[in-house]
Homo-oligomer: A and B are copies of this chain.
Amino acid sequence: MKVTINEIAKQAGVSKATVSRVLNDSKPVKDILRKRVLKVIEETNFRPNALARGLSLKKTSVIGVIIPDLSNPVFSRIIAGIESYTRAHDYSLMITATDFDIDVEINHIKIFRDKGVEGLILLTDHVNKALYETLENFDKPIIMIGSDCDLEKIPIIKIDNIKAAYEATQYLINLNHKRIAMIRGPLTDRFSGNLRFEGYKKALIENNLYDEILVKEGKYSFEHGYQMMTHLLAGSKMPTAVFCANDVMAVGALKCALDNEISVPEELSIMGFDDVAIAKMYNPSLSSVHQPFEAKGERAIVKLIRMIEDEENGVNSNDLFGDEVLEHQLVIRQSTKRIKS
């Protein structure tokens, strides 16, 4: 059977209170006793039961993360950013994926609370009333990454998608492109999906170049990118540049162009978004908008842990509230090119 603090106490000939004290350095303990206790602990390989400790202390050192999809690097890299900092600070991570199902999300937020997580990091593509309420009733710190939520108490970590898309589009305009298509994300993606489109549209409208016919919508996949590019090629207006809402779509579009013997970037410029690994590896390598995935995760967890510890210490962490906007960056590679005006 597992050895408990009682066993240690007995073997060391002290009370379990004393054992607890040496375990946590919470109160002075005479050196002789401490040594004795430590020795028994050593010998028995005793480690305190974290559940019991958590129950007593109301502190589990566990943080919950809710994320749409673990197999997508766009998310898993954020988790990686969260994880390394978490680990370094002696917390553990409980992770659940949701497949973008908001009910799963709500359900697991509750489960996490039941299990005593001390804070929550939430990635979601949309917030409905039920989720809103769940979050409101969650009595521990929460941080959201990527998407918005009108709750004062929830800081958001994000990038400026509108600005980033605007800059990417402007960059294409500066390259003399006049017919700039966009393969945008699904309308159901209420955050990045819409914002990136908005930035694109804004830049084009400012330059009197916007044409709805050049906008295609699809899911964030290689296949959809490919397919939307097919539509674009079959359309009445052939673009000279295509801005895609993410890199995977962009690569789909690129492959489609190549398959149709359209050379990139000579005849067609293609720009992605995210700067995931494939962007620099592709041939031609893909111009994109770099966003700091790992940093997003790390900023979120840094903030969260501070909120947790501030709360423990009874200090207020008002300075932590409010959104945090991380920097994006245009990365120019081989897939985009200046054309003659």
Point out residues on A near B: beta carbons under 8 Å: 2, 45, 47-52, 54-55, 60, 62, 69-71, 73, 76-77, 79-80, 83-84, 87, 92-97, 99, 104, 108, 110-116, 137, 139, 222, 248, 251-252, 254-255, 258, 277-278, 280-283, 293-294
Contacts of A80 in B (CB 8 A): 69-71, 97
Q: Are A49 and B116 in contact (CB under 8 A)?
A: yes
Given contacts A110-B47, A278-B278, contact A70 B62 (CB under 8 A): no
Contacts of A87 in B (CB 8 A): 96-97, 104, 108
Q: Are A281 and B283 in contact (CB under 8 A)?
A: no
Q: Secondary structure of the A side of the interface? A: helix
Q: Are A83 and B54 in contact (CB under 8 A)?
A: no
Contacts of A255 in B (CB 8 A): 281, 283
Q: Are A50 and B222 in contact (CB under 8 A)?
A: no
Picked from B54, B83, B92, B112, the residue with its CB within 8 Å of the CB of A51 is B54
Taken together as a complex, chains A and B put the C-alpha atoms of A238 and B52 apart, in Å, by 65
Report the minimum CB–CB distance from A255 to chain B (whole Å).
5
Could you give 8 example pairs across A and B, Cβ below 8 Å? A47-B114, A49-B55, A49-B114, A70-B83, A71-B79, A73-B73, A87-B108, A92-B108
Report the minimum CB–CB distance from A247 to chain B (whole Å).
10
